[in-house]
Structure 1
Amino acid sequence: MSTDSASGDATPQIEVTEDAAERALGLLDEEGMDTDKSGLRLFVQQGGCAGLSYGMRFDDEPEEDDTVYEHHGLRVFVDPASMNYIEGSIVDFETGLQGAGFNVENPNVVSECGCGESFRT
């Protein structure tokens, strides 16, 4: 397992905004999960009209081959296959007319479907 931190010298490959981290930490706490060990798993899966879609869930701990990032107290777990698609992304929390939720700003995306649920790199 490799580790990166927002406070380290290396440029993080995945970034989480302070607002997104606070929201995720609140949800982890509501689920009764240990925020010192648990974290947000960010992954890419096959699906959607553009071919790929993002997935997020809470995990108790990282897998052996995960890269682990820490931003504003939130641990983020990313598997190697997903990292190929989302390197350089920023996870934010947005509110708007369509509702509120986590959003991934991915510099690798070349096209998205009309609903914004899937993408292609």
Structure 2
Amino acid sequence: MSTDSAETNDTRPQIEVTETAAERALALLDEEGMETTRAGLRLFVQQGGCAGLSYGMRFDGEPEEDDTVYNHHDLRVFVDPASLKYIEGSVLDYESGLQAEGFHVENPNVVSECGCGESFRT
């Protein structure tokens, strides 16, 4: 059952997840032995980096009560209210190449990034 929707009635722009990112995250969840019907990827924003804000990701067993929960390609993504205001409308992708491999957030709210691309400002 692959639905691409928020599990809430939230009308704000959604966080999108590419199929590649979802497949990679689901494989990592499986490697961690986490139940993918309850667990998910937490995407958050934290203070840090030379531009002021940076992204964080981790796996959580279930969402917090006030999280917005998205479901894309069978991956659940949890976003807390404070982070959502910085990343709504973003796309989470997974890139694999000669120079780097990992998750990448394409955020339409970013007005500047640091030179290394690890932090941003909205």
TM-score normalized with structure 1 length: 0.91
Structure 1 partner of 2:92: 91
CA distance in 2, matches of 1:102, 1:72: 16
CA distance in 1, matches of 2:48, 2:12: 30
Pairing 1:118–2:119 present: yes
CA distance in 2, matches of 1:54, 1:116: 11
Distance 1:84 1:11, change over 3 A: closer
**Structure 1 gap segments, 5+ residues each:** none
1:95 Cα deviation from its structure 2 partner: 1.4
Identity %: 80
Structure 2 partner of 1:50: 51
Distance 1:57 1:17, change over 3 A: same
CA contact (8 A) 2:36 2:75 kept: yes
1:98 Cα deviation from its structure 2 partner: 2.3
Supply the AA of the counterpart residue of 2:37. D
CA contact (8 A) 1:28 1:35 kept: yes
RMSD: 1.7
CA distance in 2, matches of 1:51, 1:7: 30
SS in 2 for 1:29: helix
**Structure 2 gap segments, 5+ residues each:** none
SS in 2 for 1:42: strand
Structure 2 partner of 1:63: 64
TM-score normalized with structure 2 length: 0.91
